[in-house]
Amino acid sequence: MDFDVHAENIYDDPKWPKEPIFYANFPSKSDASMAPKGKEGCFLLVPIAPGLEDTESLREKYFEIVFQRLEELTGQSLRNDILFRKSFCVNDFKSEYNSYKGNAYGMANTLLQTAFLRPKLKSKKVENLFFSGQLTVPGPGVPPALMSGKLVAGLIEKATTTNR
Ligand SMILES: Cc1cc2nc3c(=O)[nH]c(=O)nc-3n(C[C@H](O)[C@H](O)[C@H](O)COP(=O)(O)OP(=O)(O)OC[C@H]3O[C@@H](n4cnc5c(N)ncnc54)[C@H](O)[C@@H]3O)c2cc1C
């Protein structure tokens, strides 16, 4: 698995990667409520370019590739013990969140969408309307999204004290 080749299929030549890298998270390791007793909750993520074709057969194909690798890496057979499985891909991001090209991460971190060039915390059109979260300032990721809420709380506090 070559990270550079996979990254090329995301940024330079968007297509489903032949040999996908993937991210595996087992939230039940730290939160028992994430799976029935004695089982694991497993979350597998294959990063792909936005706007790619998304069909049931592609999802199935990539589940097979990734799961086989997970079994090889862990040296155990897991397939027959799956109790529940759900996939979420481009079409779901479009239908559930109306997200641009079905992307999962919001705006790309390009220069023209960075820092003060990002959408503002304060609405330009509606007085006393504020926005927070990854799509505004400072940007994507859980820590910046929390920071965004903190910044907006400060702005609201300031607006209410000056309006008094
Ligand atoms: C697969 C994946 C892996 C990630 N991994 C990491 C990581 O390892 N570390 C990290 O820091 N960040 C990670 N991120 C990014 C991080 O999750 C986000 O940046 C962060 O959650 C954004 O927080 P938010 O509050 O802005 O938005 P969200 O967490 O997306 O919250 C928005 C909420 O608004 C709700 N909503 C949407 N539309 C409406 C509506 N019309 N009415 C009412 N409610 C609505 C949604 O259902 C959702 O609950 C990851 C993101 C993804 C998708």
Which residue among 59, 75, 102 closes a domain?
102
Whether 14 and 36 map to the same domain: the answer is: yes
Tell me if 138 CB under 6 Å of ligand 1.
no
Whether 74 and 139 map to the same domain: the answer is: no
Pocket test for ligand 1, best of 44, 88, 134 (most atoms within 8 A of CB): 134
Query: Which among 110, 128, 131, 111 is positioned nearest to 119, based on CA atoms?
Result: 131
Q: In this model, does residue 25 exceed pLDDT 70?
A: yes
Output the furthest CA–CA distance in the chain (Å, rounded): 66
Whether 52 and 132 map to the same domain: the answer is: no
Q: In this model, does residue 47 exceed pLDDT 70?
A: yes
Whether 61 and 93 map to the same domain: the answer is: yes
The whole domain housing 70 covers 3-102
Q: pTM of the predicted model, to two decimals? A: 0.84
Whether 71 and 41 map to the same domain: the answer is: yes
Tell me if 133 CB under 6 Å of ligand 1.
yes
161 Cα–ligand 1 center, Å? 31
Whether 7 and 75 map to the same domain: the answer is: yes
Query: Which among 117, 118, 103 is positioned nearest to 50, based on CA atoms?
Result: 103
Whether 79 and 129 map to the same domain: the answer is: no
Identify the pLDDT of residue 162: 74
